[in-house]
Amino acid sequence: MQDRLARVRTEVQAELDRAIAALPPGDLRDAMAYAVQGGKRLRAFLVMESARLHGVSDDAALPVAAAVEALHAYSLVHDDLPAMDDDDLRRGQPTVHVKWTDATAILAGDALQTLAFQLLTDPRIGAADAQVRLVAALAQASGAAGMVWGQALDIAAETAGTPLDLDAITELQGGKTGALIRFAATAGPLIAGDDPVALDRYAVALGLAFQIATTSWT
């Protein structure tokens, strides 16, 4: 499994690098390229493995794996901003707004988000209806009913200064962390046109386990 994960990391990084290199040169492109470096690539790995389970080739799944990582990178760039979590370091390196400016970080995050949806229109994925299913699912996972919603709950909780109970924490993390994991784990059946219910149930449990593990490390 470690060999497979390492291969996915390498291939997804190359896919992101190629997509970003095709953009006009300047600070925006440089900040985007910087933001997508490194990371565990868990979400990309889930895309690739769920695709294999449903008979989808690596070539078809790779743009989807890159898309979810571009979306995740955008969320980290924006989370690090002074108006959000106000972090100076990410993975031991200066955050995008520290290395460039707040404005460049905002624009880089915006551009990475739109790049994610562009990647989901790659012809390698297959039929147009598969691409539409993926676009709809990622929009749902990343927007005001998913990841952004979870971040809004997190900010509200910090502002209120009141400890959350278990149900509230589960709801918050189900959006902030779990929504993209659910998309990644169900990408395979979405591409293949199969039923995603079983993998969706698995992804809900995995998202909670991931959040418990990462929280215990900090």
- The answer to which of 128-137, 160-169, 177-186 has the lowest mean pLDDT is 160-169
d(CA 168, CA 199): 24
Task: Find the angle CA(120)-CA(121)-CA(122) to the nearest 5 degrees.
Answer: 95
Which residues constitute the domain of residue 85? 2-217
Give the model confidence (pLDDT) of 192-204 as tens digits. Answer: 999 999 999 999 8
Whole-number pLDDT of residue 172: 74
Predicted pLDDT of residue 15? 98
Q: Is 165 exposed, middle or buried (0-12, 13-18, 19+ CB in 10 A)?
A: exposed
Q: Element (H or E) spanning 93, and its range?
A: strand 93-94
DSSP string across 24-75 = PPSHHHHHHHHHTS-S--HHHHHHHHHHHHTT--HHHHHHHHHHHHHHHHHH
94 φ, ψ (degrees, to nearest 5): -55, 140
Q: What is the mean pLDDT of residues 109-132?
A: 98
Task: Indicate whether 188 pLDDT > 90.
Answer: yes
Backbone angles phi, psi at 208, to 5 degrees: -65, -40
- Report, as an integer, the average pLDDT of 206-215: 74
> pLDDT band for position 215 (50/70/90)?
low
Distance CA 110, CA 77 (A): 9
pTM score, whole prediction:
0.93
Enumerate long-range contacts of 205-213, CB under 8 Å, 24 or more apart: 206/46, 206/181, 207/173, 207/174, 207/177, 207/178, 207/179, 207/181, 207/182, 208/170, 208/173, 208/174, 208/178, 210/42, 210/177, 210/178, 210/181, 211/173, 211/177, 211/178
The structural domain count of the chain equals: 1
Which one has a higher pLDDT value, 173 or 121?
121
pLDDT value for 171: 80
Task: Report the alpha-carbon distance of residue 189 to residue 61 in Å, rounded.
Answer: 11
List the CATH number of the domain containing 163.
1.10.600.10
